Amino acid sequence: MPKPLEGIRVVELARVLAGPWAGQLLGDFGADVIKIENPDGGDETRHWGPPFIKGANSEDLSAAYFHSTNRGKRSAALDLKNPEHLAALKKLINSADVVIENYKVGGLKKFGLDYESVSKTNPKLVYCSITGFGQNGPYAHRAGYDFIIQGMSGFMSITGEPDGQPMKAGVAITDILTGLYAVAAINAALVQALKQNKGSHIDIALMEVMAASLANQNMNYLATGTAPSRLGNAHPNIAPYQVIPVQDGHIILAVGNDGQFARLCEILKVGELARNPLFLTNQSRVENRSALTEQLAAITSNWKRDTLIEACENHAVPVGAINTIEDMFNDPHVKARELQIATSLGVPGVRSPFFINGGTTSNNATAPALGADTESILHELTGGWPAKS
């Protein structure tokens, strides 16, 4: 069965994570994603290790980080300062449906690779610019770093223990979310291009993505005028919706309504808690969270993790284990869904987390070696390097 974006060509002028994440997902949808890299070292993430991936003959296949976000692409090593290379890249962009770039604002204009320039010869082009702060505004000139954006956006002010440091996420969540938002915008713009024969310039900023993604916490502030604070693993609007101790570790309780809370209390043999006016409704439980947590923890600490999880599952009380990444990959459900894949060279990977019409669309080709496809791509376009003028 053809993939949704088969026949779509994407030129990726992007490095590190947000842009490449978008490119990899478009590739999983079937697009031909051509990653443009500087011949001198390529994408920085090729060197962001350890760990590094080794081939069958112990050859260096770049850092594991690079493989996490460049599966299924082709690599062309082109130096934008080389006139011959630049001419080849312009021909490639003229053949493309999408360009993804994450240069500093105005950084591609001097090469004639900005949207205004390339759209003159390719008016249906969807051109996605990913930056830290957008194409205009007082911070537009600043570079965008995921960690800094997590801090500036307010995300870290609501993440971490109340008496601890503000805390970043364990992955570059700003970059990941930006890549996902970029794909949504690109796909919408592709539909417009098909219907109206008109391209688009997408301006997407890490700062705005992370700020907009604060969801209910944004509305908590806008509704009250009071900025939310760090609550550790507790939820600002629901209780008990948090990590709770057990005899051999911790579990997650995600009690979302009064019926679930009543059933939890019956499991723990403290039915009177569900009838206590202090804990009768979600609002009262949120207002009396500390007292509720203290009483629940005193009881759950006497339960074994798996025993309590099983009891909750049997009584429709939302509950979950706190797995390591190793535990996650070994989970029987994750194994049944075949989330882990092996790419064409046997390099382990993770498929995109969706099925379409019952089938996965993931591209299982290994992330490319630097410049591995330069010559073949140029021959597809022109039969070789463009003639010197």
What residues act catalytically?
175
Strands 32-37 and 74-77: parallel
